[in-house]
Chain A
Amino acid sequence: MAAPAPDDFRARAAAAAGNVALHRKLDTASLRFLDKRAQVFAALPDAEARRDRARAVKAHAIASLDTLLPELEQRFTANGGVVHWARDGAEACAIVRDIAMRAGVQLVVKGKSMVSEEIALNAALAAVGIEAVETDLGEYIVQLAGEPPSHIITPAIHLSQDDVADLFARRLGEPRHATAEALTAAARRILRAKFRAAGMGVTGVNFASAESGTLVVVENEGNGRMALTLPRIHVALMGIEKLVARDEDLAPMLELLPRSATGQTLTSYVSFVTGPRRTGELDGPDEVHLVVLDNGRTRLLADPVMREALYCLRCGACLNACPVYRRIGGHAYGYAYSGPIGAVIAPALLGIERVADLPYASTLCGACRDVCPVRIDIPHLLLEWRARIAAAVPRAWGERLLVHTWRRICASPPLYHAAAAAMRAAASVVARVPALAALLPPLAAWRRGRELPTFPARSFHRRWREQRRASASDDA
């Protein structure tokens, strides 16, 4: 289940932009998330101060990774766990594969892990004949469909209930036209057997405390608990950025993540894992492995402007808030991390030359920054990527002249008013004789997929002046 190449962003975005059914599904889910998020934040005392504190916790941790990572390793190892280090996805996959093969594991159950999507773990395990089953309902659905997830929190956001019912009928022989309840019950029944048979459970990590070597796994369904409780071996995959310094930092982060992600006060389940089953405990894994992954994150870390992208909690709120995401969906981005934050981190993790279109997939409206629980200034980071791309690629003289002229016009009010009047006149002519647009190639390109707006007869400035004058004479 390889993700599509990120390089074809324009073609995928254009296709999705015309898919009205997709827009409806994305709007339904995203807007409901945003609405619930707004409600729980309104009910949270000192919400803004809590966001500041969460940002400070992450800022401290990211700047201290050089000391916190060895501290986590030392504590986790002292608790009986095993820590592995991976420079890239291939190394991380090889580590998990080798643990599984050494133990003779044939079936792996997976909790939801975006890192495992990032490194394409399932394909690596399948290559050596090990079956990896996704157990989060949304992940299970997209795995059955042979697709990557299209949202950080709701992987199957792009599929309707009917889509899922058809899929379950085709792949699992379930009755057609099943309800969400019946589909969930089918998944519970099928996956319960997998949990009991699996030799290894793989999960992600939402937070890790260096102080005590505690890994925190946040979820709603109970599949994460199953994966880290029932199989003999638990492997947790973690990007280096998941650390916080102290145990007391965990509660403030847990107060914000579910509220931002799904509008819940807290998710149904949160597991604090410190290692394998201890004497006196009656179940739990015999082995717990932690795979610590770089995979390009140190490039973000070394970048003073982009570093704050590592504060991201992967709550998905910026996806829900983004008008561009809600029109093109996660698959268009071609990467495990989509939406505004995906457009910021993909260039660092994959290389800017591969995803040079992503930083432009934004209107820079700022909605992502407003909902980010740790206040990452995503529009600023997107602009920074654009500036770097622009600086790296020599622009055509025509484009340079255009931008230069634009800057001169915008810096001078008389020029601006004159240019606006000329534009309005030209637009009204083009509106009456559409064939004229074809004569100007840039305008023709712009008009593909766009409607030329009808300009009002009087400009805003003129109406403003007239209204001020009218109200002044009323007062007099």
Chain B
Amino acid sequence: MTRDAVLDAVRSALAGVVVPPLPHVPASTVASDRELLAARFAREARAVGTVVHEVAAPTAAIEIVAGILGALPAPPRVVTWATPLACALATAAVAVVAGAALRVVDDGADAKGAVGSIDSAAADVGVTEADYLVADSGTLVLRAAGRARGVSLLPPVHVAIVTRDRLRVDLGTALADLRASGAHDSCVTLVTGPSRTADIEKKLVVGVHGPCALHVVLLDRAEA
């Protein structure tokens, strides 16, 4: 058995080796005041090219999303997660943009490449909802349960909606909270800015394989 051969080699290599203790990973000591966290998130996210829109109420968020859709060169085809906030905002925004079309991704059609009305790969905009925001690095944490990962990956524009209560100070805190929530997804994705590369002469180019633009709509509260 190859398995046993590898493990036997590991065991004999480690015979008599003393295991050093695990280090204590300290929890962040930074105060988690919402205002400070929001400001820090916005600063870090903008530094990597994310467009951050801070809005007080859902009505303002609809205007922001409609503005993003309306600024595109052609009436956009929009796909959105079926999560309540993303779905409600995308629906309201698409309704006020002439010619815009919407598909709520609530089944596995994307995965099979078969398409309902709009496939994520053909869509211009994907709307999602972040489970957490990491202030330290300007990062979105996206779960997979009940959602299609392709919505945040395939369209050239990604719009993520999130309320301020999802802000966490650092990655360790966000991941610990995610584990504590009992999440057991096949994939959790961290998104920090648009897709980027510097593989040619270290020149920064955005939009390699993933979205060329990332918008975060940061809501004070979900209810009007």
Interface residues in chain B, defined as those with a beta carbon under 8 Å from any beta carbon in chain A? 2-3, 5-7, 9-14, 17-23, 25, 44, 47-48, 105-108, 110-111, 113, 121, 134, 136-139, 144-150, 153, 170-172, 175-176, 179, 184-203, 205, 207-211
Contacts and interface: CB of A to CB of B under 8 A. Distances in A.
28 contacts: A29-B202, A53-B25, A57-B22, A63-B20, A87-B2, A91-B2, A138-B199, A141-B200, A161-B200, A192-B209, A222-B208, A223-B208, A226-B209, A228-B187, A230-B150, A240-B10, A262-B198, A265-B47, A268-B48, A274-B187, A278-B184, A282-B111, A282-B147, A283-B148, A284-B149, A298-B10, A298-B13, A299-B13
Contact of B6 (A63, A183, A292): A292
Interface string A285-301: 00010001010001101
Interface in A76-98: 79-80, 84-87, 91
Contacts of B7: 66, 69-70, 85
Given A57-B23, A137-B199, A283-B108, A266 B190 contact: yes
A221 B148 contact: no
Contacts of A187: 208
A41 to B, nearest CB: 15
Size bracket of the A interface: 35 or more
Contacts of A226: 153, 209-210
Given A229-B150, A267-B192, A188 B207 contact: yes
Contacts of A394: none
B6 A268 contact: no
Main secondary structure of the interface of B (DSSP, over half): loop
Interface in A36-87: 52-53, 56-57, 59-60, 63-66, 69-70, 79-80, 84-87
A466 interface: no
Nearest to A267: B192
Contacts of B137: 265-266
Nearest to B208: A221
A87 B195 CA distance: 36
A52 to B, nearest CB: 8
Contact of B48 (A196, A228, A255, A265): A265
B22 A63 contact: no
Contacts of A118: none
A388 interface: no
Contact of A266 (B2, B23, B121, B139): B139
